[in-house]
C-alpha cells in the first residue's frame, strides 16, 4: 500500500537537517545531486520539503553504510528518476561484491592453513611464472618487494629475481589480503609476522576483524533495504513502476542478471 507523503505538511531545510544530524547545506547538496526529489519553492524562493523528502533522506543515509556513498547516491538518483530497475541492479551488484568478499575471506583462511615453512624441494619460481600464477603483472610483484611483502633473492649469474617456496607462499597470501581490501602498509607487517612466526597466530585478530566488517556491512544492507522499501512505498506510482496489464506481462523464467 503506497502512502502519498507529498501533501503531508511542509518542512524547512533546517527541519530535515536537524532531524538527521546534518547541515542545511548538506540537505541542499543532496537535493542538487538528485538524492532527494526536487523541492517546491515558496513565492519568495525558499525551499519547502515534505515528509516524502524526509523519507528519501532517511533511505539514503541508511544505504550508505552498506553500499558506500557513491552507490547509495546512484541508487537514489535512479529511484527519483523512476528508473527503479536500475536501482535494483545496483543493489544486486553490491550483494554480489559482498559475496565475493566473503569468498575471498574464505580463500585467505584456506591459504593460512598451509603457512608452515615450505621445503626447498618444492621448487623456485622466476617473476614471470609467479605473476601469471597470481594473475598480476610482474611490476606488481616488484612493487610488493619494495613494500616488503616478498623478499626474493637474486640469481648471482643473471641477476633475475628468484622466489623460493616461502616467497611464493608470502605472495599468495599478500594477493589474497589485497583482494580483501587491505592496503600495502597493512599487509606488510602481517606478512613479516607470519614470516618470522611461521604460523597463523599473528593473523587471527585480523581475520576476526575482517569477519566483523563483512557481518556489519551485511546487516547495514538489510537496514538500507528496509528504509529504501519504505521510501518506494511512499512515492507516487510512476508509469514504469505500475504493473503491466495481464495480457502484456512478460514472465522471466530464468534471469542471468546475478552473473553480470
Collapsed DSSP state (helix, strand, coil) of residue 48: strand
Please name the helix (run of DSSP H) or strand (run of DSSP E) that holds residue 227, with its range, or none: helix 204-234
pLDDT, one tens digit per residue, over 129-169 is 999 988 899 999 999 999 888 889 998 888 899 998 878 87
Instruction: Determine how β-strand 40-41 pairs with β-strand 47-48.
Output: antiparallel
pLDDT at 191 over 90: no
What is the C-alpha to C-alpha distance for residues 222 and 225, in angstroms, rounded to an integer? 5
CATH of 13-93+218-242, one of 1.20.120.1200, 1.10.1660.10, 1.10.10.10, 1.10.1380.10: 1.10.1660.10
User: Which three cell numbers, joined as nine digits, stand for 10?
Assistant: 511542509
Domain chopping of the chain, boundaries:
13-93+218-242, 114-199
CATH 1.10.1660.10, domain 114-199, yes or no: yes
pLDDT at 79 over 90: yes
In 3D space, the residue among 171, 89, 80 whose CA is nearest the CA of residue 129 turns out to be 171
| Cell 538518483, located at residue | 77
Identify the weakest region by mean pLDDT among 145-149, 220-224, 239-243.
Answer: 239-243
pLDDT at 25: 95
Give residue 113's pLDDT band: very low, low, confident or very high (50, 70, 90): low
Percent of the chain with pLDDT over 90: 48
pLDDT at 186: 78
pLDDT at 47: 87
What DSSP assignment string belongs to 66-135? HH-HHHHHHHHHHHHTT-HHHHHHHHHHHHHHHHHHHHHHHHHHHHHTT-SPPPGGG--EEHHHHHHHHT
Proportion of the chain in helix, strand, coil states, percent, rounded to 5: 65, 5, 30
Give residue 65's pLDDT band: very low, low, confident or very high (50, 70, 90): very high
Please check whether residue 142 is in contact with residue 103, taking contact to mean a CB–CB distance below 8 angstroms: no
Give residue 107's pLDDT band: very low, low, confident or very high (50, 70, 90): low
Collapsed DSSP state (helix, strand, coil) of residue 37: coil
pLDDT at 18: 95
Give residue 170's pLDDT band: very low, low, confident or very high (50, 70, 90): confident
User: Which three cell numbers, joined as nine digits, stand for 171?
Assistant: 605472495
In 3D space, the residue among 45, 94, 71 whose CA is nearest the CA of residue 221 turns out to be 94
pLDDT, one tens digit per residue, over 21-59 is 999 999 999 999 999 999 988 888 888 999 999 999 999
Total length of the chain: 260
pLDDT at 2 over 70: no
pLDDT at 258: 35
- CB burial of 203-229 (b: ≥16 within 10 Å; e: otherwise) equals beebeeebeeebeebeebbeebbebbe
| Cell 511542509, located at residue | 10
Give residue 110's pLDDT band: very low, low, confident or very high (50, 70, 90): low
pLDDT at 33: 96
- What value does the mean pLDDT take over residues 218-227? 98
pLDDT at 200: 56
pLDDT at 189: 79
- Do 13-93+218-242 and 114-199 agree at the fold level? yes
pTM for the whole structure? 0.64
Amino acid at each position: 500500500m503506497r502512502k502519498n507523503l507529498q501533501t503531508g505538511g511542509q518542512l524547512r531545510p533546517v527541519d530535515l537537517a536537524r532531524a538527521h544530524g546534518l547541515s542545511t547545506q548538506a540537505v541542499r547538496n543532496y537535493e542538487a545531486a538528485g538524492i532527494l526529489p526536487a523541492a517546491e519553492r515558496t513565492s519568495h524562493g525558499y525551499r519547502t520539503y515534505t515528509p516524502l523528502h524526509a523519507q528519501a533522506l532517511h533511505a539514503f543515509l541508511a544505504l550508505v553504510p552498506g553500499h558506500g556513498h557513491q552507490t547509495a547516491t546512484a541508487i537514489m538518483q535512479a529511484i527519483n528518476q523512476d528508473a527503479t530497475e536500475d536501482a535494483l541492479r545496483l543493489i544486486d551488484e553490491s550483494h554480489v561484491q559482498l559475496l565475493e568478499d566473503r569468498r575471498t575471506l574464505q580463500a585467505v583462511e584456506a591459504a593460512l592453513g598451509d603457512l608452515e615453512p615450505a621445503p626447498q624441494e618444492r621448487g623456485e619460481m622466476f617473476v614471470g611464472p609467479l605473476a601469471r600464477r597470481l594473475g598480476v603483472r610482474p611490476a606488481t610483484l616488484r612493487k610488493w618487494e619494495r613494500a616488503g611483502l616478498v623478499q626474493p633473492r637474486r640469481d648471482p649469474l643473471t641477476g633475475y629475481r628468484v622466489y623460493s617456496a616461502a616467497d611464493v607462499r608470502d605472495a599468495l597470501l599478500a594477493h589474497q589480503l589485497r583482494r580483501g581490501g587491505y592496503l600495502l602498509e597493512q599487509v606488510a607487517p602481517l606478512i613479516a609476522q607470519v614470516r618470522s612466526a611461521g604460523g597463523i597466530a599473528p593473523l587471527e585478530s585480523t581475520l576476526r576483524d575482517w569477519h566483523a566488517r563483512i557481518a556489519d556491512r551485511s546487516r547495514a544492507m538489510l537496514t538500507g533495504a528496509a528504509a529504501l522499501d519504505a521510501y518506494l512505498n511512499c512515492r507516487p506510482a510512476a508509469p514504469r513502476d505500475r504493473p503491466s496489464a495481464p495480457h502484456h506481462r512478460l514472465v522471466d523464467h530464468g534471469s542471468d542478471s546475478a552473473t553480470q
